Amino acid sequence: MTIINRTNSVPPSPEPVSHERTIWGETVIDRYAWLRDGTNPAVLDHLEAENTYAEETLAPTEELQRELYQEIKSRVKETDLSVPVVKDGWSYYSRSEEGKQYGIHCRRKIVKGVPGPEEVFFDENVQAQVGVGPDAAEGDYFDIGVFEVSPDHRLLAWGEDRAGDELFDIRIRDLATGEDLSDRLAGCAAGSAWATDNKTLFYLRLDDAHRPYQVWRHILGTDRENDVLVYEESDERFWCSVGRDRDDSFIHIGASSTLSDEVWLVPAAEPAAAPVCVQPRIDNLEYGLSHHKGRFIILTNHDAQNFQLMTMADSVDDSVDDSHDGNRSHLGLEQWKPLVPHREDVMLIGFEILADFLILFERAGGLTRFSFARWDHLGSDAAANLPMFEVIEQAEPVYTVWPGANPTPATTLFRFGYTSMITPSSLFTIDLETGERQLLKQQEVLGHFDSGVYETWREWAISADGTRVPLSLVARKDRISPAPAVLGAYGAYEISQDPGFSVARLSLLDRGYVVVLVHARGGGELGRRWYEDGKFERKTNTFQDVVAAGRHVVAEGLVDPERMGLRGGSAGGLMAGAVMNLDPELFCSVVAQVPFVDIINTMLDPSLPLTVTEWDEWGNPAESESIYWAMRSYAPVENVRAAAYPAVYATAGLHDPRVGFWEPAKWVLALRERSTSRSPIILRTEMGAGHGGPTGRYEEWRDEARTLAFVLGTTGFSDALS
């Protein structure tokens, strides 16, 4: 294995300060707990020293980084347009321009069926005030988290984050003049909804733990001090959301934990009306709904592990509950009637409504799919309704689909997205009456890209307990086997890591690499049970699945065991750290981006952002001894041991509200102290960003080029490394 030359670089070695934690009869010494204080100059100095060490260690790859960056950039059509979405006589789209970091939002007024001249109604580049040109200096952090055009299309509510801490300052722009009104709503969460009167905006405020816990109502032209509190969530396990129903009839206020939902409705035409609770929260009851022709369609896990669809009449006017305590509701479970029944082998994850058709968004066999039926073919017998649905078939064996923007229900055309690991992101419409399919747009890959030289396929690994774990693979057909490889996995929050196309990934494939996505337990690829089998006391199944995947591709002769890397971010970074402790020599290279590796200390501290809400995902080690010992068995920082660990590239964001920067900082120090190998272990912290890393597409490409250079340099590819 080739490693990066580090002979002239000395890693930072800060003074440890012992801090004891005693719980459930065990005392653990945390020698670097002091790194948590981001206001301490010594902590900032340490992070800067780590960045210097990372830069010095990666210096031999600088030419390779530039090469990779140019490869990524040369494949992207930098000046491009999205497919327009038409609503209320306006055609909305976005475009990018060569040399500009961010998107440009545009629209055209449609008069007698003909789109008029282009209006640029929001240019993110102007707002971000970054330099022009792909080689311009790195600009400040900039992210948009609120972006809602008013129902009359005259105003835009927009919110920006300048630090990466996911706090958005909301403003209101007059689209006729391009000027912002005097209204300012600072420190908000992402999410907003306009009332039909075009002057009332619902928005979210956060508590000290960074939890969206209040929904407020603001009337344009008034001081924020006069805003009205519409809903407040006192249970720290729940967070709030706000949005507008697809048919614009209601404002939805959501209160959700990981495993429970409660929805309140406000008629969009009556913004001052008291919210109505659909169904008071019940532990482990999840639901969401959408309005359609005098009734609600409800997606729920009520008596349905893999979810079902139910309906009820929209009797909101008879259900007003001024108490807000959720004790009364005329829209509750007793009113719900089955529409599409539960299935053991299919996970129902969403639905789309057209005037004449109901479209189901599902997971079956580890893949996404759509099925559809006519409304007039669906009756009151849910079991009889199921045969009425027809699956929209796809050509490739491994792929991903998702619903597109379908703003006009009065059509038979359904818009959806499609991609695979060899097919660029594509947007289709299908006429549900005739089956005719039309490609509206496919991501253009410049250069000499030919999807025919690659192949994608499915493998199944056998985990430690005998469970079959699906893998999605992609490689060039002319590769030499066994090949170098990078495996990626996540395995948490019921989030599925679906197979899709990546321009940057081509730089690995064209160098002979195999890329493998491991659909580990804890994700949602194979339904709710797949998720539940990878959490709480069963969390170690996630890590065993990834280990099994690595061993499988080696045993099958697909991958060279001396040149196999692993990549994961956030909860996927926890996965990477736990897998390294399980089998330190299985992978020769690990990329862990903003890794959640100090899980016990974080889950023991309810003052940290999101900790209380995360107990439903990971468990509360302060309340449950079994949860504590389960975490103790896999927590990456606390299970580092004397072993030949692989090369590690860890990243952090100083302002990250989701994973504290100190988690990877502590983990990297522990690895360096205990590793018996010479493999480099480096940490790079974005000092002006958060969980998602740098913003701006050129900066994102540079960041990815740096990561790929590390992967290539530690899996024996680059001649620039010693």
> What does the pLDDT read at residue 2?
41
Q: Which helix (H) or strand (E) holds 53?
A: helix 41-58
In a domain, 112, yes or no: no
Cβ atoms of residues 95 and 80 within 8 Å: yes
Euclidean distance between CA atoms 164 and 536, whole angstroms: 30
b/e per residue 692-717 (b: at least 16 CB within 10 A): bbbbbbbbbbbbbbbbbbbbbbbbbb
Predicted confidence (pLDDT) per residue in 521-536, tens digit: 999 999 999 999 999 9
Residue 257 annotated to the active site: no
Residue 330 annotated to the active site: no
Q: Which residue has the higher pLDDT, 459 or 325?
A: 459
Cβ atoms of residues 306 and 342 within 8 Å: yes
Is residue 401 domain-shared with residue 542, that is, in the same domain? no
Euclidean distance between CA atoms 90 and 688, whole angstroms: 37
Predicted confidence (pLDDT) per residue in 692-710, tens digit: 778 889 999 999 999 999 9
Is residue 414 domain-shared with residue 472, that is, in the same domain? no
Q: Which residues pair with 400 in a beta bridge?
A: 419
In a domain, 163, yes or no: no
Is residue 425 domain-shared with residue 469, that is, in the same domain? no
Neighbours of 150 (CB within 10 A): 20
Is residue 363 domain-shared with residue 504, that is, in the same domain? no
In a domain, 475, yes or no: yes
DSSP codes joined into one string, 186-200: EEEEEEEEE-TTSSE
Is residue 552 domain-shared with residue 513, that is, in the same domain? yes
Euclidean distance between CA atoms 157 and 150, whole angstroms: 8
Counting the structural domains of the chain, the total is 2
Is residue 425 domain-shared with residue 490, that is, in the same domain? no
Is residue 441 domain-shared with residue 539, that is, in the same domain? no
Residue in 330, 691, 703, 718 annotated catalytic: 691
Is residue 680 domain-shared with residue 592, that is, in the same domain? yes
Nearest in space to 147 (alpha carbons), one of 91, 92, 226, 215: 92
Is residue 506 domain-shared with residue 651, that is, in the same domain? yes
Predicted confidence (pLDDT) per residue in 431-484, tens digit: 999 999 999 999 999 999 999 999 999 999 999 999 999 999 999 999 999 999
Local structure of 254: helix, strand or coil: strand
Euclidean distance between CA atoms 157 and 149, whole angstroms: 6
Cβ atoms of residues 682 and 714 within 8 Å: no
Is residue 516 domain-shared with residue 539, that is, in the same domain? yes
* Encoded tokens for 566: 């692993």
Range of the domain at 382: 343-445
Is residue 475 domain-shared with residue 421, that is, in the same domain? no
In a domain, 437, yes or no: yes
Task: Pick the last residue of a domain from 381, 413, 445.
Answer: 445
In a domain, 273, yes or no: no
Residue 691 annotated to the active site: yes
Beta strand pairing call for 589-593 and 559-569:
parallel
In a domain, 581, yes or no: yes
Q: Above 80 in pLDDT, residue 713? A: yes
Res. 330 pLDDT band, cuts 50 70 90: low
In a domain, 364, yes or no: yes
What Rg value do the Cα atoms of the chain yield, rounded?
26
- Taken as a whole, the chain contains a residue count of 722
Residue in 570, 589, 675, 679 annotated catalytic: 570
Instruction: Give the residue-averaged pLDDT of 342-370.
Output: 96
Predicted confidence (pLDDT) per residue in 547-595, tens digit: 999 999 999 999 999 999 999 999 999 999 999 999 999 999 999 999 9
Task: Pick the last residue of a domain from 394, 411, 445.
Answer: 445
Task: Pick the last residue of a domain from 414, 445, 476.
Answer: 445
Is residue 441 domain-shared with residue 461, that is, in the same domain? no
Residue in 245, 321, 656, 703 annotated catalytic: 656
Q: What is the strand order of the sheet 287-292 is part of?
A: 287-292, 295-300, 308-313, 337-340
Cβ atoms of residues 161 and 167 within 8 Å: yes
Local structure of 705: helix, strand or coil: helix
Question: What's phi and psi for 164, nearest 5 deg?
Answer: 90, 10
* Alpha-helix residue ranges (DSSP H) falling in 208-306: none
pTM equals 0.92
In a domain, 178, yes or no: no
Query: Which CATH number belongs to the domain containing residue 52 in this structure?
Result: 3.40.50.1820
Q: What is the mean pLDDT of the chain?
A: 93
